[in-house]
Structure 1
Amino acid sequence: MKNIKYDFKSVIDRHNTNSLKWDYFDDDIPMWVADMDFKVAPAITESILKRANHPVYGYTVVSDELYDSYINWWNRRYDFKMSREDMLYSIGVMPSISSMIRCLTDIGDEILIQSPVYHVFYYVVEDNNRKVVENELIYENGEYNIDFDDLDEKLSKVKMMILCNPHNPIGKIWSKEELSKIGELCCKHDVILISDEIHCDLTDPDVYYNPFEVSSDYEKAITCLSPSKSFNIAGFQSSIVHTKNSELLEIIKTQLHVDNSDSTNVFATTAVIAAYNESEEWLNQLKDEIFENKQIVKKYLKEELPIIKLVECDSTYLLWLDCSALNVPSKVLSGFLRENQGLFLSAGIDFGKSGDNFLRMNIACPQKLLKEGLGRLKAGITALTIIK
């Protein structure tokens, strides 16, 4: 419904809702964890209220309508043609990846990730008693690229690769050519490829990401998808695993069941269907809002805080800030901003050693909060440079 203008300006008080972002830590402006401070799409709220009005909340099955909503969404928007028989339901992308690590690799195996990258990739590998191998991205002239020579060498030693597509925290959309080359190298070394595509919808307006399985025909590729980031419904814990490899699919299916990760809750299916079937225009307007927020940050840093450089990106609502000119470790910098200004940004070191000159900022919030956060960032950096 394009005639409806959705509200992304109102500041929502999220205190006392058991919010990880707002209640768990005592910070004035939390701009770290990847959830949004916007109202969800009205269709989602309406669907949840409708289901809540039924007085029984018993065990729930995953409906065919949910799978159809995924199939139609990816076919329509990304030309990714999925079939029901190639899909598995799971409570979340990271639980799925954890399960796949357990059933597709052995204790002590090496698993490759491309750093700086989402910090939970490290945990999920190491907590399952596997070893992390890093293919560090090349950072030159404010831009990141893949070191394919290093990737080729390291894939020869590992059992699995976990790809972040689009990439968190740098916000880059990998090209079809890059994804195809990754597939060729994984095929060359017989490496299982898991593609985490949870941020795929959150691109700049009129920009689209490239699904790995559309860009490469590698037969040992697995894709993890979820509406949780796109529609701010992570609390419902819902995702799917997709692969055209029937042998891998059966192994994963068994492991998800063993891990009790293949069931849904009474509201999750309802929320997902409402998101994909009724909330596309809300998402399109959200993308416009996030893009506008990016321009605010870019202009502010250029005019008010040029010592910090914004790494250009075309996806996600997470900005990667180059703070190398400050010559301060990211943990120290992040800690100082929290203590001095009540501003919580993620320390770059959390995403790998190569991220230690950076901070990650979540800008998925009303502009009033964003501008307050930027003001506190400037005040904190000013205070820090005076102390130094």
Structure 2
Amino acid sequence: MKYNFDERVERRNTNCIKWDTAERSYGDKDIIPLWIADMDFKAPQEVVDAIKERAEHGVFGYTRRSQESYKSVIGWMKKRYNWDVKREWIKFAPGVVPGLNIIVQAYTKPGDEIIIQTPVYHPFYSIIKNNGCQIVENPLKYAKGRYEMDFDNLKKSITKKTRMIILCSPHNPVGRVWTKDELMQLGNIALENDILVVADEIHGDLAYKPNVHNVFASISEEFADNSIICTAPNKTFNIAGLKTANIIIKNPKLRSQYELQFERAFLEGPTVLGDIAQTAAYTHGEQWYEEMMEYVTGNLEYTMDFFKTRIPKIKITRPEGTYLLWLDCSALHMTNEDLNDFFIKKCKVWFNNGESFGKAGANFVRLNIATSRSVLQEAYERIEREINILDGILEVRGYNLEPGEKLDIELLYAHQR
């Protein structure tokens, strides 16, 4: 490998949300953060070099997107997904989440209904509520070891007020890479009911072989005309802090609505360095990307094996994409609050609490494996040790818990003391 992903890059004291927030929030700098979805890997050297070269210029005034930036997006989409994107289809947003907010404002009005498939990325809830729209949940079904879309319930959920479906593809947090057949079923239901499909595809590059990510709009002209694709280099190349995203809209009428709302919000183009970073990443970062995916795949296998053999109480749904894992902790018999406290205060490992992704996330946590393997090993060994301690206490106390019964964690540890 050209790149060393085993390197532990010190991110503390860099105003890093992932690493510095732990001490500020919990007063403990020894907590290992495996929550927020960014990597601990250095970005491709080509990106770093391009930023350094531009920084040497010394002037950082207002900027616009470069032709090279547009070409890099078009080239990446063609090579990775065989999707022919035109320059005029690509619109800027300072991140996919701000882009989704602009989209909801542009195509809905207060009181309209927007469908999401839960458990799902938590900002979806806030974006819909903050714009006065109604959340309609179409919960995913869990069958034969993986999550699936519930198309029957989806059809039943649609009313005259339904205006939009926000599709998470690949799905965060459950890790599904939707098949072409699944996307076709969803797309046809949307067409039949005149519902706009907004596809958050920011994790699209992070599909594990042999799974293949299909860009929703690439499936048919009809789907392309009835959808908006939201993507970015941020997750793929670990450059989220540079605030750039691509909102790809083929339909001219939809595109003009987005442009109008963008102007109403007094938003401008990309940052100087964000545009430079995107261009360098998509143009020169492919080897880094391939090696990163190989390393993260190794992290996935390491994690699956560790939990299966050493922490079997916690069950993991094997992801087909993303570097995020969905952990079922129901066998620990804890409330969500106790579960969060157990991992942070006892194990000193910080996950996303599953309940933030919706009611279906109760008893789950989300784990980010995009870090050096030694960090994962340290975190997993902490969890293993604390669960073994907990099991020992339960054995001494003679606990025999029924399914669904919750432990009184505070009382249990008080007895231990």
| TM-score (ref. length: structure 1) | 0.96
- 2:117 maps to 1:120: no
**Distance of 2:369 and 2:210 partners within structure 1:** 19
- 2:162 maps to 1:158: yes
- 1:186 alignment partner, one of 166, 187, 190: 190
CA deviation after TM superposition for structure 1 residue 215, in Å: 2.4
Residues 95-104 or 322-331, more deviating: 322-331
Corresponding position of 1:361: 367
Aligned pairs (5 A) from 1:1-388: 5-26=2-23, 28-156=31-159, 157-205=161-209, 207-216=211-220, 217-218=222-223, 219-385=225-391, 386=393, 388=407
TM-align CA RMSD: 1.4
Question: How many percent identity over aligned positions?
Answer: 38
**Letter of the structure 2 residue corresponding to residue 16 of structure 1:** N
**Distance of 2:355 and 2:385 partners within structure 1:** 22
CA contact (8 A) 1:172 1:315 kept: yes
**Letter of the structure 2 residue corresponding to residue 22 of structure 1:** W
CA deviation after TM superposition for structure 1 residue 92, in Å: 1.0
**Letter of the structure 1 residue corresponding to residue 320 of structure 2:** D
In structure 2, the residue corresponding to 1:23 is in which secondary structure?
helix
CA displacement, residues 226-280 of structure 1 (integer Å, 9 cap, x when unaligned): 0000000000010111121110100001111222334111101110001000010
**Distance of 2:264 and 2:273 partners within structure 1:** 23
CA deviation after TM superposition for structure 1 residue 208, in Å: 2.7
Residues 375-384 or 252-261, more deviating: 375-384
**Distance of 2:37 and 2:130 partners within structure 1:** 22
CA contact (8 A) 1:155 1:186 kept: no
From the superposition, tell whether residues 188 and 223 of structure 1 become closer, same or farther in structure 2 (CA, over 3 Å).
same
CA deviation after TM superposition for structure 1 residue 331, in Å: 3.4
**Distance of 1:31 and 1:252 partners within structure 2:** 35
**Distance of 2:314 and 2:145 partners within structure 1:** 12
CA displacement, residues 22-71 of structure 1 (integer Å, 9 cap, x when unaligned): 11222520000000011111001000111111111111111121111111
Which structure has the greater CA radius of gyration?
2
CA contact (8 A) 1:86 1:242 kept: yes
Corresponding position of 2:402: none
**Letter of the structure 2 residue corresponding to residue 6 of structure 1:** Y
From the superposition, tell whether residues 136 and 75 of structure 1 become closer, same or farther in structure 2 (CA, over 3 Å).
same
In structure 1, the residue corresponding to 2:339 is in which secondary structure?
helix
CA deviation after TM superposition for structure 1 residue 381, in Å: 2.8
**Distance of 2:219 and 2:385 partners within structure 1:** 45
Residues 300-309 or 321-330, more deviating: 321-330
| TM-score (ref. length: structure 2) | 0.90
The structure with the greater share of residues assigned to helix is: 2
**Distance of 2:213 and 2:336 partners within structure 1:** 30
CA contact (8 A) 1:95 1:261 kept: no
In structure 2, the residue corresponding to 1:240 is in which secondary structure?
strand
**Distance of 2:204 and 2:320 partners within structure 1:** 11
CA contact (8 A) 1:201 1:208 kept: no
CA deviation after TM superposition for structure 1 residue 384, in Å: 4.1
CA deviation after TM superposition for structure 1 residue 205, in Å: 4.2
**Distance of 1:261 and 1:380 partners within structure 2:** 48
CA deviation after TM superposition for structure 1 residue 320, in Å: 0.6
Structure 1 spans left out of the alignment, 5+ residues:
none
CA displacement, residues 319-358 of structure 1 (integer Å, 9 cap, x when unaligned): 1111122232333212221011221011111111011121
**Letter of the structure 2 residue corresponding to residue 92 of structure 1:** G
Residues 170-179 or 22-31, more deviating: 22-31
**Distance of 1:79 and 1:269 partners within structure 2:** 23
CA deviation after TM superposition for structure 1 residue 89, in Å: 1.2
**Distance of 1:208 and 1:233 partners within structure 2:** 23
From the superposition, tell whether residues 61 and 281 of structure 1 become closer, same or farther in structure 2 (CA, over 3 Å).
same
**Distance of 2:234 and 2:336 partners within structure 1:** 28
CA contact (8 A) 2:113 2:163 kept: yes
Residues 288-297 or 326-335, more deviating: 326-335
Number of equivalent positions: 385
Structure 2 spans left out of the alignment, 5+ residues:
24-28, 395-406, 408-417
In structure 1, the residue corresponding to 2:22 is in which secondary structure?
coil
